[in-house]
Every structure is written in structure tokens, then in C-alpha cells.
Amino acid sequence: MIMENFEKITVSAGSAEVDVYVAGPEGATCVLFLHGGVPGASPYASGAHIWGDCLNEFARERRVAVLDLPSMATGRWSPDMFMAETNAALGLAALDAIGVRSAHVVGHDTGGITGMTLVMDAPERISSISIVASPMNAPTGDTIAGVSLTSPPLPILGDECQRWAFNRLGYSHPALFETIIGQSIEAAKTTYYKAVGDFGGRKIAEMAVANFRKVQYRQWEVARTRGIPVPVQIVWSANDPRSTIEIGRTFFGLIAEKQQATQFHVINRAGAFPFLDQPEMFTSIVSAFLDGVTEEKRHLSK
């Protein structure tokens, strides 16, 4: 069962409140996981559950904190819940709540936008960032819905719609995602999603895209001038229908120009969820990067 050994805590930042799932040995290297997705724009209900069983692997030797961001799942409604700055503040609140001064960040999809906001606003709290299958971070990033997700079955976030979305975005057969799909279907039935529906999905999408574009432009300004201030890993998927390897490689080149500690990895036979399609490969690649950054900092501190 996903996150069965994780402790759930609640943190807040301004009017936003979020659940955080925590596991792993205290005092160990900390990793903060940020999922993506925006309600009303994404045709599946994301949340902390979207990472699948790889969370348990990371928590064996590391302190893991997984945000269930207010834009999804069990998070509470907040008028500024779509903003990357709000979610970044919640990430810092999570680190404070578990007594962690600094952490590595792993951000998937629009979680990469939140992660980069953390890096730019609080670099002293972030050891590194791994950006995973996030076209929104890339220079030619697609919109949130993207052409690969046009004309979904109605109603949005209905059972059929969510199965359709995972089938379009993933590389593996949907049967392998059955647990994740089931949890997404359950998340869509919460009272939170009723509030999202009342507010208006199109309005949410417009607000979110505008905010994410602002962060994207700021990211490029920092990358081209003084450089991203922490080591960066870009994990791309060879079969992601929303992007291409070339876009990921261009993204890498722009970041690496001023930040030499930048890595680019492509996972084959993986779609928009490489940690679900190829969990062992994903865990191995990210773990090696985290261990390398940690060892380098330990060496430099001597």
C-alpha cells in the first residue's frame, strides 16, 4: 500500500493548508517531493499518492516529506492555492514542521515550477532540485492541458476521464496504474473538488498558467544571468506525449550554461509519469544524484 508507513501532519502558509506525509530516519538526508497538476485543468486528480511505491524506496535511508498540495487531493480550499509561491511557502513550512534546515527537492510536472520557486526564493534551504517530466519548466513548455489531453471524456475528473488521462499520459498499460487511478478517482469525490467545480475549472487554469509563466520567465532570467544557485537534475521521459527529448536537452543546456552541476537523464519506455512506468530506474537515477550532491558538500565542508 502506498505510504502506509508514513505519518501525516498538517502545515499552513497564509490561508492555505496542506497535508504532508513524512517517513524515513530522522536526521538523514531529507527529500521534499512536490507533485504537479492543477484542478480544473488536469483531467486526473493528482496528489501525494501519484508518486507510487517509489516513495517507500526513498524513505528507506532518507527522511522523506511528501506534500499533498492544496491544488489536489485532500488539501483544503484556498483562494491563492494555485500559485507557485503559495505552494513553495507550504514546502518551507513542511521542512520547519519536521525540523529540517535544508532538503533536496524533487518536483514532477508543475511541481517543478514550485520547486524552482523554492530554489530562487530560499536557496539556503534547498540542497538540490530534480525536475521530473515538467514541460512547464522547459523553454517551449506546453500548456497544462496540452494537445495530448484535448477532448477528454466528460465529466472532467469522472472515472472514465481519469482512466483516459492515465492511458494518454502513461507509457505502461493502465492496469499497472490501477492503484494510482483508484486513489485519483477517490480524490475527485472529495468536497474539495466540489469547491473547485463551483469556482470554475477554466478560471483556475487561466490563473495557474499565468502564474507559472511568470515563474518560468523568472527562472530563465536567473539561469542566464547569475545561474541557478543549486545543483540541478533534469529527468525527462522518452515517450512523454507532452514533450520531446530535444526540448528536455535544450532545457538542460540553458541551465547548465551557468550551473555546471547540472545533469540530464532520459528514461526510456516512460511517459508523463516515469516513476510509475519505470520506478526502479527512476529511483536509481535520482538517488545517485542526491548521494553525489550530498557527498560533494560533505567533502567541501572538511
For the cut 80, the answer to whether the pLDDT of residue 148 exceeds it is no
Report DSSP state, residue 257: T
- Cβ density class 204-215: b for 16+ within 10 Å, e for less: bbebbbebbeeb
Cα 192 to the center of its chain, rounded Å: 20
Top CATH class of 7-301 equals alpha beta
Residues 69-78: tens digit of each pLDDT: 754 545 556 6
Give the range among 49-63, 152-166, 181-195, 227-241 with minimum mean pLDDT: 181-195
**Alpha carbon distance, N-terminus to C-terminus of the chain:** 41
The pLDDT confidence band at residue 144, using thresholds 50, 70 and 90, is: very low
> Does the CA dihedral 248-252-255-261 come out positive or negative?
positive
| Average pLDDT over every residue of 45-56 | 93
Domain ranges in the chain are 7-301
Per mean pLDDT, which of 69-73, 113-117, 152-156 is the most reliable?
Answer: 113-117
The pLDDT confidence band at residue 157, using thresholds 50, 70 and 90, is: confident
pLDDT of residue 73: 47
Spatial strand order in the sheet of 63-68: 7-13, 16-23, 63-68, 30-34, 103-108, 126-132, 232-237, 262-267
Residues 262-276: tens digit of each pLDDT: 999 999 999 999 999
Residue 178, helix vs strand vs coil: helix
Helices (H), the chain: 54-58, 84-97, 111-121, 159-169, 178-187, 191-199, 201-224, 245-256, 274-277, 279-301
Residues 234-245: tens digit of each pLDDT: 999 999 999 999
pLDDT of residue 217: 93
pLDDT of residue 21: 96
What is the C-alpha separation between 83 and 212, in angstroms, rounded? 8
Q: Nearest-CA neighbor of 270 among 133, 178, 123?
A: 133
Write out the three cell numbers for 271: 511517459
